[in-house]
């Protein structure tokens, strides 16, 4: 698996292009904006883009999804349907941040806990991880030990829960149930900031240790 990370917009959100090197198929995860920048990168990579995957419905993770879906005639997959209200509220989200108006759109397919997504020879296990948002999902590729977590956990921190329907108890339970059960060597790819590992966060993340939160 080849992973290209492209920080997008003023939110510095980590959009990821995930490539199966056997098939040259690719998916783009959480395209939060800067459509032209993303298209340029896809063109340079000479990959076959087959889907958009979304971890949750916040604007900084989804803003370019519809444009890419229409341009490449591909499906938008995820998150869980409990995030539908965030897609309903896309115009309000844009207004809150003073951004260009964006109309509501919806995934081609909502995801459920324990779904799986195949990308060439890769297989992503889907885990429903509510807390940051109620419909947040994460993607785990077991064979390569890569975990794409959106805004559930970061290096030394965890996702915010002060947005509508955020829940700190749920978030910590999600992390315990679906992230900390994995091997220390599993690499965590968050929606913002640097990559980390399960082992590092288990040992040093103050929110997990109980020092904060």
What is the per-residue pLDDT across 130-156, written as a single tens digit (0 to 9) for each?
999 999 999 999 999 999 999 999 999
In the predicted structure, residue 213 carries a pLDDT above the cut 70: no
pTM: 0.96
| Model pLDDT, residue 211 | 58
Q: What is the pLDDT of residue 170?
A: 97
Q: What is the mean pLDDT of residues 155-160?
A: 97
Distance, in Å, from the CA atom of 92 to the CA atom of 132, rounded to the nearest integer, reads 18
Task: Say how far apart CA 92 and CA 73 lie, in whole Å.
Answer: 27
* Token pair for 137: 């999902």
Q: Nearest to residue 50, comparing CAs of 93, 19, 80?
A: 19
Predicted local confidence at residue 150, as pLDDT: 98
Predicted pLDDT of residue 126:
98
Domain-wise residue ranges, the chain: 2-209
Q: Could you tell me the end-to-end alpha-carbon distance of the chain, in angstroms, rounded to an integer?
A: 35
CB atoms within 10 A of CB 35: 16
Mean pLDDT lowest for which of 37-41, 95-99, 111-115, 174-178?
95-99
Give the model's pLDDT for residue 98. Answer: 77
| C-alpha–C-alpha distance, residues 29 and 14, integer Å | 9
Q: What percent of the chain has pLDDT over 90?
A: 92
Digit-coded pLDDT (tens) for 60-106: 999 999 999 999 999 999 999 999 999 999 999 988 877 778 899 99
Distances (CA, A) of 195 to 39, 116, 146: 24, 23, 10
Q: How many CA atoms lie within 13 A of 210 on its CB side?
A: 0
Per-residue confidence (pLDDT) for residue 24, from 0 to 100: 97
CATH of 2-209, one of 3.40.50.1980, 3.40.120.10, 3.60.15.10, 2.60.40.10: 3.60.15.10
């Amino acid at each position: 698996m080849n992973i290209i990370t492209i920080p997008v917009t003023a939110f510095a959100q980590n959009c990821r292009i995930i490539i199966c090197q056997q098939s040259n198929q690719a998916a783009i995860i959480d395209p939060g904006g800067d459509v032209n920048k993303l298209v340029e990168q896809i063109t340079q990579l000479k990959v076959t883009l087959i889907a958009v995957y979304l971890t949750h419905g916040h604007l900084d993770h989804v803003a370019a999804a519809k444009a890419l879906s229409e341009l490449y005639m591909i499906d938008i997959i995820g998150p869980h349907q409990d995030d539908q209200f965030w897609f309903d509220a896309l115009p309000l989200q844009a207004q809150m941040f003073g951004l260009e108006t964006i109309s509501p759109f919806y995934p081609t397919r909502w995801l459920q806990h324990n779904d799986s997504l195949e990308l060439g020879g890769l297989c992503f296990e889907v885990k429903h991880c509510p807390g940051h948002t109620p419909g947040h999902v994460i993607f785990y590729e077991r064979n390569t030990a890569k975990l794409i977590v959106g805004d559930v956990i970061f290096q030394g921190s965890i996702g915010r829960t002060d947005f509508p329907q955020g829940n700190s108890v749920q978030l910590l339970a999600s992390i315990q149930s679906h992230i900390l059960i994995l091997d220390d060597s599993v690499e965590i790819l968050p929606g913002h900031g640097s990559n980390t590992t399960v082992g590092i966060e288990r040992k040093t993340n103050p929110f997990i240790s109980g020092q904060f939160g």
